[in-house]
Amino acid sequence: MLLAAVFCLFASSVKIVSGADWCYQSQVSCNYTCTGPEVWAAVSEDCSGRSQSPVNIMTRKILPDERLTSFELIGYQETFHGRLTNNGHTVQLDLPTTMKIKGGNLPTTYKALQFHLHWGKNGGPGSEHTIDGEQFPMEMHIVHIKEEYESLSQAVRDRSGVAVLGFFFQESKSANKKFDPLINALKYITEPNNSTTLTGVSLEMFIPHKDNMTKYFRYDGSLTTPNCAEAVVWSLFENTIPLSRNQLAAFYQLLYPDGKQMVNTYRPVQPMNGRQVYYSGGHVALVSTVLLIMSVLVSSALSLHTAG
C-alpha cells in the first residue's frame, strides 16, 4: 500500500481524494484512496471474522438436509410503491415490512427490509457467491430481519438475526419484461444519493416462480459489505433469473461517488473455515439409504460385540 502511494505521488496530475469509506476493488485507484475489500477489516473488525460471506459452494461437499422445506412467502404478491436508490455502492429497493418469509427451517418469521444487486461489467462475472467456481453475471439479495427487531443494526447482534434470499442471474436471449420497471428507472438514479419511486411492483415479479424455489443452498455467514456482521442465514436458490445482455448493461450506467462507472460490485469469496453448506433438493432418499445401511452395520457390530 505504501509503495502504491509513493507511486501515485509521482504519477502525473493526480488529485488524491481521500475516502474513509469502504469501496469495491473496481474503485481502488491512485487518485481515489478508498478502502478496498482486502482491507475492509480496517473499517470493521468483523470483516476478518471466520464466518464471512460470500463463499464458493462446492457441490461435491454439500449435504442434503430434508428440514430445508420450501419457504412461505407472505405479501410477496402484493403491489407496492418502493424507493429505489443509488446508495453509492449498489442500487437498492426499500421494501414494506409487510413482506415476510417463514419456513425453510428458519427459526422464526423474518420481515423484508430491502433488496439490492451485485453485478459485473460488460456481461462478465458479477455475482458474489460462486458455484464450483462459476461466477454468474449478477446476484440479487433480499434482506430480511427477525420480526422482533426494529432495524438491521439491531438484528446483526443476533447470530441468526438476518435472513437473506439470494438469486443468481443468467444472460438470456430475450428480455425479462418483469424487470423493466426497475431497469427503466435506473437512468434517473445514475448519481449517488439519487432516488426514485417504483410504483405498482411486487416482489413476486423479481423472483422465479414459487414452484422453482424449492432447491436452495443454506449456510451461516455474514453481510457481504462492511460491517460484515456474522448474523446471516443464507439461502441461495439454484434456479436462476434470466436477463438479456441489454438489461444487464443498464446497470453499468450507474456511477460511484468518484464519478467512475459502478461495475464489479462484488466482494471476493471468503474462506469456508470448516463451515458446511446444506442443500434442500434431491439426494435425500439416497442419503437415508446410506444411513440405513450404516445403522444396520453398526447394530450388527454391536450385537457381535455383546455376543463376544
Ligand X SMILES: *[C@@H]1O[C@H](CO)[C@@H](O)[C@H](O)[C@H]1NC(C)=O
Cβ–Cβ < 8 Å for 124, 138: no
Taking contact as CB under 5 A, which single stretch among the options 17-25, 81-89, 134-142, 295-303 is the one that binds Zn ion? 134-142
The listed partner (ligand X, Zn ion, none) that binds 141, CB under 5 to 8 Å by sort, is: Zn ion
Of 141 and 144, which has the nearer Cβ to Zn ion?
A: 141
284: cell is: 435425500
Q: Of 18, 19, 166, 183, nearest to 89 (Cα)? A: 19
Positive or negative, the CA dihedral 69, 61, 165, 241 is: negative
Q: Is 173 in the site for ligand X (CB under 6 A)?
A: no
Q: What is the rounded CA–CA span in Å between residue 259 and residue 242?
A: 29
Give, as ranges, the residues between 178 and 207 that touch ligand X (CB under 6 A).
188, 191-194
Q: Is 144 in the site for Zn ion (CB under 5 A)?
A: no
Cβ–Cβ < 8 Å for 171, 123: yes
The listed partner (Zn ion, ligand X, none) that binds 44, CB under 5 to 8 Å by sort, is: none
Taking contact as CB under 6 A, which single stretch among the options 24-32, 67-75, 220-228, 247-255 is the one that binds ligand X? 24-32
C-alpha neighbours within 13 Å on the C-beta side of residue 308: 5
Q: Is 141 in the site for Zn ion (CB under 5 A)?
A: yes
Q: Of 129, 149, 134, nearest to 224 (Cα)? A: 129
Of 211 and 308, which has the nearer Cβ to ligand X?
A: 211
Per annotation, catalytic residue among 81, 89, 118, 305: 89
Of 93 and 272, which has the nearer Cβ to ligand X?
A: 93
Closest CB 116 distance from Zn ion, rounded Å? 6
Closest CB 226 distance from ligand X, rounded Å? 16
Cell 436452495 belongs to 216
Of 35 and 92, which has the nearer Cβ to Zn ion?
A: 92
Q: What is the rounded CA–CA span in Å between residue 175 and residue 181?
A: 12
Q: What is the rounded CA–CA span in Å between residue 139 and residue 170?
A: 9
Residue 89 annotated as catalytic: yes
Cβ–Cβ < 8 Å for 201, 184: no
Applying CB under 6 A, which residues contact ligand X? 15, 17, 29, 31-32, 188, 191-194, 208-209, 211-212, 239, 257-258
Any idea which residues carry the catalytic annotation?
Answer: 89
